[in-house]
Structures are given as structure tokens and as C-alpha cells.
């Protein structure tokens, strides 16, 4: 069911964007690789990973709230669709309960790949490793997902539009 939802969302966005598609870049050319690097950086900022990691969990929630457009949504690994407002509410509750985010705890995207660009919509994938600290402070992998990352260009700037997470089986 989750795979169907992901495919439906991708198909809907692709069809809606196709009318605006620009054939200005091809996979592998300089414009493509430059955009891929730019979106990988936006992705890291979005999830507060790597150079954008924040030790105070609420700082990360605040950064996400600022970068996500109003229509942002995410499909969880359990198949639940959650909008921006609910995501911020839940993440604020978690940040209040666990205010410190040590080291590289949290989502850690790897293998980011730009898959398609349709005008002002870009679709990418990554493999995200979710890490958490135990009671002793030791950080370990909690979960992994292959993620469809959706970006839109708003007011000349690429921003996250949504994500769909598919669990990686161990």
C-alpha cells in the first residue's frame, strides 16, 4: 500500500509538472550535477544532518519550520501522511522531551541522487540512516529508509516539498 501511495504522489507531481518541463539539463551534464549538489545541500539542511546538525533539537525543528512551505508533507515508513503543521507539532514535543541531539544523532542521508527534474519540481532519492543515543550517550543506528525527496523552486529558491520513506529491510 505504501509503495502505491509513493508511486501515486510521484506520478501526480510528474503529470502536473510535465506541462512546465524544461529540457534544459540532461542527467550527467554540468547543470545536472550542480543542481544535484545544491539539492543535496538543501536536503542536509532540511534534516539537520552533517554540517547542519544542531545540538539543540528545537533549533532543528525551527529550521525545518522555516524552510518547509505550507503544503509540505511526508509519508512515514508506516504509511502515515503527515502535513507540515503536524510534523512541527510532533517534532517540538520530541525536542521538548529530548532537548539535546548529540553527535550525529537523527537522520543521516547518504547516496543522494537527483532522479528527475520537471521545470520547478525535482525528485531525488537517498538512503537515510536514523541514529539515536541510548541512555549512556552511545549513538547507534535505529532504522534505515530509502527516501523519495521532492523539491520545488519557489521564488527562485529550491525548497523541500515532501518526502516518502520506504523502510529498508535488514
Specify whether the CB–CB gap between 153 and 120 falls below 8 A: yes
Which triple of cell numbers denotes residue 72?
509540505
DSSP letter at 46 equals: H
Which triple of cell numbers denotes residue 96?
521538548
Indicate the number of domains in the chain. Answer: 1
Range of the domain at 106: 2-167
* Tens of pLDDT, residues 97-149: 988 887 778 899 999 999 999 999 999 999 999 988 887 778 888 899 999 99
Average pLDDT for 91-100? 91
pLDDT of residue 100: 85
* Tens of pLDDT, residues 28-53: 899 999 999 999 999 999 999 999 98
Q: Distance (Å, rounded) from C-alpha 74 to C-alpha 164?
A: 6
* CATH number of the domain encompassing residue 123: 3.10.450.50
Average pLDDT for 55-70? 94
pLDDT of residue 3: 52
Helix axes 57-67, 84-97, angle to 10 degrees: 170
3-class secondary-structure state, position 55: coil
**More confident of the two residues 58 and 8:** 58
pLDDT surpassing 90 at residue 75:
yes
Per-residue pLDDT band at 5 (split at 50, 70, 90): low
What mean pLDDT value characterizes the chain? Answer: 87
pLDDT of residue 21: 45
- Residue (of 91, 94, 97, 124) closest to 109 by Cα position: 124
Residue owning grid cell 519557489: 154
DSSP letter at 31 equals: H
pLDDT of residue 4: 45
Amino acid at each position: 500500500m505504501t509503495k502505491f501511495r509513493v508511486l501515486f504522489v510521484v506520478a501526480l507531481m510528474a503529470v502536473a509538472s510535465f506541462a512546465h518541463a524544461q529540457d534544459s539539463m540532461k542527467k550527467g551534464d554540468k547543470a545536472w550535477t550542480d543542481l544535484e549538489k545544491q539539492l543535496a545541500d538543501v536536503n542536509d539542511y532540511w534534516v539537520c544532518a552533517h554540517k547542519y546538525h544542531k545540538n539543540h533539537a528545537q533549533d532543528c525543528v525551527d529550521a525545518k519550520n522555516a524552510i518547509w512551505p505550507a503544503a509540505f508533507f511526508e509519508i512515514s515508513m508506516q504509511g502515515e501522511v503527515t502535513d507540515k503543521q503536524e510534523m512541527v507539532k510532533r517534532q517540538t514535543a520530541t525536542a521538548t522531551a529530548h532537548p539535546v541531539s548529540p553527535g550525529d544523532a537523527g537522520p543521516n542521508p547518504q547516496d543522494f541522487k537527483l532522479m528527475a527534474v520537471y521545470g520547478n519540481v525535482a525528485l531525488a532519492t537517498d538512503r537515510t540512516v536514523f541514529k539515536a543515543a541510548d541512555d549512556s550517550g552511545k549513538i547507534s543506528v535505529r532504522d534505515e529508509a530509502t527516501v523519495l525527496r521532492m523539491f520545488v523552486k519557489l521564488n527562485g529558491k529550491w525548497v523541500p516539498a515532501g518526502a516518502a520513506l520506504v523502510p529498508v529491510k535488514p
